[in-house]
Chain A
Amino acid sequence: MTDTSLKNTGRSDTIRIANVQAFWGDYSQAAADLLRQEPDIDFLTLDYLAEVSMSILAKQQRRQPDRGYAADFLDVVRSIAPFWNQGSRVKVIANAGGLAPRQCALACQVILREAGCPGRKIGVVTGDDVLCVLQAEPHSELSRNLDTGEQLGDRAQQLITASAYVGAAAIVEALQADCDLIITGRVADPSMVVAPCQYAFGWADDDYDRLAGATIAGHLIECGTHVTGGISTQWMDLEDVCQIGYPIVEVDAGGGCVVTKPKETGGAVNVRTVKEQLLYELGNPDSYLSPDCTVSFLSLSVAQIGPDRVAVRGARGSSPPATLKVSATFPAGFQSSGSLVIFGERAAEKGRRAGAAVLNRLQSQGLAPDESRIECLGGGSTVPLPHLQRDDLTEVVLRVSVADAQRAPVAQFARDWTSLVCSGPQGTTGYAAGRPRVSETFAYWPCLVAADRVSMEIEVLS
Chain B
Amino acid sequence: MNHTLKDIAYARSGDKGRHANIGLIAHTDAGYAFLQQHITAERVHAYFEALPVTDVVRYELPNLGALNFVLHNVLGKGGSQSLASDAQGKALGQALLMMPLEITETELAPARAEVTA
Contact = CB atoms under 8 A, between A and B. Distances in A.
Interface residues of B, number: 44
Given A298-B63, A382-B85, A386-B50, A444 B80 contact: yes
Given A275-B64, A441-B81, 10 more contacts: A51-B80, A275-B23, A276-B12, A279-B23, A282-B68, A283-B59, A285-B68, A286-B59, A382-B85, A386-B50
B83 A372 contact: yes
Contacts of B94: 383
Contacts of B85: 375, 377, 381-382, 399
A283 B16 contact: yes
B17 A443 contact: no
B82 to A, nearest CB: 9
A446 B83 contact: no
B17 A280 contact: no
A51 B79 contact: yes
A301 B63 CA distance: 7
Chain B facing A: main interface SS: mixed
Contacts of B70: 283
12 contacts: A52-B80, A146-B17, A233-B12, A272-B25, A275-B23, A285-B59, A372-B83, A375-B84, A377-B85, A385-B51, A442-B81, A443-B77
B63 A299 contact: yes
B21 A282 contact: yes
A442 B66 contact: no
A298 to B, nearest CB: 6
Contacts of B84: 373, 375, 382, 401
B25 A373 contact: no
Interface stretch (B35-43, B95-103, B104-112): B95-103
A4 to B, nearest CB: 35
Interface residues of A, number: 54
Interface string B3-44: 000100011101111110101010000000000000000000
A279 B21 contact: yes
Interface in A371-389: 371-373, 375, 377, 381-388
Contacts of B56: none
A444 B63 contact: no
Interface string A418-456: 000000000000000000000001111010000000000
A233 B14 contact: no
Interface of A: 51-52, 146-148, 231-234, 272, 275-286, 297-302, 329, 332, 335, 337, 371-373, 375, 377, 381-388, 399, 401-403, 441-444, 446
B1 to A, nearest CB: 17
A335 B11 contact: no
A283 B17 CA distance: 11
Contacts of A148: 18
A275 B70 CA distance: 17
A373 B21 contact: no
Nearest to B98: A388
A163 to B, nearest CB: 15
A272 B10 contact: yes
A234 B6 CA distance: 11
A257 to B, nearest CB: 16
Contact of A302 (B15, B18, B64, B68): B64
A279 B68 contact: yes
A387 B100 contact: yes
A300 B12 contact: no
A335 B79 CA distance: 13
B51 A384 contact: yes
A442 B81 CA distance: 7
Interface string B44-70: 000110110000000101111110101
B98 A335 contact: no
Nearest to A276: B12
Leading 10 A-B pairs by shortest Cβ distance: A279-B23, A233-B10, A401-B83, A276-B12, A383-B95, A373-B83, A52-B80, A281-B14, A147-B18, A382-B86
